[in-house]
Amino acid sequence: MSSRSCTRSLGAISAAGALVSGILIATTSPAPAEHSGPGGRWQSCLTGTSDRQAVFSRAAAASGVPRAVLLGVSYMESRWDDHAGAPSTAGGYGPMHLTHVIASSPQSAPDRLGKGDGGREPRLPSYADASPLSTAQARTLDRAATLTGLSASSLRTDPVANICAGAALLASYHHGATTGLDSWSAAVGRYSTASDQPTALRFTREVYAVIRSGAARTTNDGQRVRLAAHPGARVDVAQVRSLGLTTPEDDPRMDCPSSLGCEWVPAPYQKYGDSPGAYGNHDLADRPHDLKIDDIVIHDTEASWDTTLQLVQDPTYLGWHYSIRSSDGQIAAHMDPKDVGWHAGNWYVNMHSIGVEHEGFAAQGGTWYTESLYESSAALVSHLAHEYNVPIDRAHIIGHDQVPGITPAYVAGMHWDPGPYWDWEHYMALLGSPITADKHADGDLVTVKPGFVDNQQQVTGCDPDGTCPAQGTNFVYLHQSPSTDSPLVTDIGLHPDGSPSTTEVADIGARAAAGQQLDVAGRSGDWLGVWWLGEEGWIYDPASHPSVVPSSGRVVVAAGDQAVPVYGRAYPEESAYPSQIPYQTVTPLQYSIRPGQSYVLADDDLQTDYYYAKTFRCAGVALDCTDVVGQDQYYEIWFGHRIAYVRAADVRITGG
C-alpha cells in the first residue's frame, strides 16, 4: 500500500537510563516486592556480560521461565535481534518485542492508485490513526516496566533490560505449579496479545515448533544465539483454550487452512452511488477457471491494523484478499481468491494475482517486520500458491514494488512497498524455496542474494532529519560505472530529466532486490555489469562478500536490429475485442531493449487478455464481466527493479 510520501507515524524515541560499564541502572521506582524478589533479582538479571545467550540464561533463572520457552518466544517475535532501539511495524521493541505505541497525529488513508485500468481513482477516506493497537497490545512494555521497576526507555533501547523485562512479563502470565514445557502453553498464547483463540493457538504452536526443532543464528548486532532442540515439546491446547478468547466464525468464501485461524472481515461488493461505476471494492470473477492466477503480491499497509480493516471494508476505497497483523500474525481474509481485488494499481496484474497486505510501514513508524508476521504470511502464501498453481519463486511471489505502471504516465506514481527492509531471503526460505545458486560456476545469469542482516546499504529520507535507521536491507545498488564514486544508474520513469537515481527510501530506480535475476554484460575486478532498464549498470560483487549467485535460465533479446518496446500490461490485439467493448490500447513504456542487450525471462506462459468489468453485478452494459482473449503472445521479463512485458513477436528466447 506504500505511497512515495514519508510521514512519520510514531513519535521520536527518546533514549534514557544510565549506563555504567555497559550495565543499565534502573531509574524508576523499585519493582513490587513480589516481582523483585530477595536481593533484587531483576538487578541481578542485568548484571553480567551482555552476551545475548548469557542474558537469556540469566533472565530465565531470574523469572522462572524455562530457557527454551523464553528463547522460543523471543525468536518468534524478533529472531533475537535488537534493531538498535528502532520499533517494529507494530511498535514493538527489542528481542522480546515489548510494545509501546506512541500515538501519532490523525492522518488520512494511505495514498493508493485506483483500480489500475486507467479509470476512476478511489475516494480517500480519512481515518484517525492515533491508536494503532488495542490497549493490551500497545502497552506490554509499560506492564513489563512495572513488573521489573526498569524504565520504559531502557526497555526500548537496551537489549539486556528488554530480555529481562520480557521474561518477567511472560512469567506473570504463568499459573500453576507444574514446570514442564507444556505448562507454559497458556502463557505463550497470552504473550502473543492475540484477541482470538485461533491466532493465540497458532502463535503458540509456532513457538513450540521452533523449540522442538531448535534454532541458531547470528543476530543483527553480531550476537550468536542458539536454542537447543527439545523434540518432546508439545502444546497443551486445552491451556490455550482456557484463556477464554473469541473464536471467529468461518465463512464459505474464506480460503484459509483451519490451522492458521483466519478471521473473515469481508470487503464489500456493493453500490454506493447512481452511476454504473459507483461500486466497490473489487470485481466478481471465477478464477482460476476464467482468469489464471499467476502472482501473489506482497504489500505493506502503511497504516495501523484498525485503519487497514476500516479501509478494506469501505466500498469507496480499494480491496485486497488478505491482511496480516504484525504483532501476532493474525490473518484477516477479505474476499474469495476467485474474485479480482483492486490492490496492485495495474489492472492486468490485478486480474491475475492475489493481494496480501502486511501491517507495517515501509520506512516510517516502524522499520522491521516480526517473525510471527513472516511465518504466518509464508504459511498462507504457501497454501495459496499450491491451491492456485502459482510458482513459488521471486518472479511470481512479488512485491508491490515490482508491479509496472500501465502507461508511461503511471510509472512515477507506482508504489514501492514492502520496502527495503522486507527480508526476501528469509521469506523465500520460509516458503520452502530459498534463494540459492542453481549452477556450480559463474555464467551469464545471476540471482541477487546479498544477505540481509549485514547488508546495510545506505538509505535516506525516513526520518525528519533525512536519515534512516542503520539495519539490514534487501537490495544492492547499481552504478553507472564500476566504481562507488560513480553515480547510480538512471531510471527515466522516475527521473524523466535523466538525473541519477538516489538513496531516498522510495527511490527504487537503482535497486536490484534479493531474488531478482539479471544477465551479465561484463566484469571489471570486483564489479559485475548487468543489463538494466536499457542500459548497463554495475553491481559491487567482491569474492569476499558476493552480492549474487550463479543461476540458470533463459533470456530474451531483440529479434531484429531495432529497439524493442517494453509494456506494463499484456492486453490483446484490437481485432480480439467485440464491438461493444472498447479497445484497450497497449502503450509502450518509456523504456526499450536495444539490440545486443538481454533480460532474464520470468514467465513465458502468460494469458493475453483483458477482463472487461465496469458495472455492479455486470448489469446494464453489454458483455460486461467478459474476458477478452487475444492471439498476441507476451513474455514477462525482469526489467529494472520491476517486472515488465514484451511481445513474443519482438524478441527471441535464448539459453536454457
**C-alpha angle 50-163-217 in degrees, rounded to nearest 5:** 70
Domains 18-100+139-241 and 248-422 belong to one CATH topology: no
Cell of 519: 544477465
State the pLDDT at residue 125.
Answer: 60
Is pTM, for the whole model, over 0.75? Answer: yes
Q: What is the CA radius of gyration of the chain?
A: 25
As beta bridge partners, residue 399 has 298
State the pLDDT at residue 505.
Answer: 96
State the pLDDT at residue 109.
Answer: 52
State the pLDDT at residue 15.
Answer: 31
The CA distance from 58 to 61, in Å, is 5
The CA distance from 207 to 643, in Å, is 36
State the pLDDT at residue 43.
Answer: 86
State the pLDDT at residue 250.
Answer: 82
Is 477 in contact with 504 (CB distance < 8 Å)? no
State the pLDDT at residue 106.
Answer: 37
DSSP of 403-466: PPPSSHHHHTT---TT-TTS-HHHHHHHTT------SSS--SEEEE---STT-----B-SSTTS
State the pLDDT at residue 126.
Answer: 56
State the pLDDT at residue 104.
Answer: 42
Domain ranges of the chain: 18-100+139-241, 248-422, 558-655
C-beta neighbour count of 639 within 10 angstroms = 24
Is 48 in contact with 54 (CB distance < 8 Å)? yes
As beta bridge partners, residue 653 has 556
State the pLDDT at residue 569.
Answer: 97
Dihedral angle over CA of 362, 368, 373, 378, nearest 10: 80
CATH assignment, 18-100+139-241: 1.10.530
The CA distance from 330 to 260, in Å, is 8
- Which of the residues in the chain have pLDDT under 70? 1-40, 101-114, 119-138, 441-442, 656
248-422: what fold? Lysozyme-like (3.40.80)
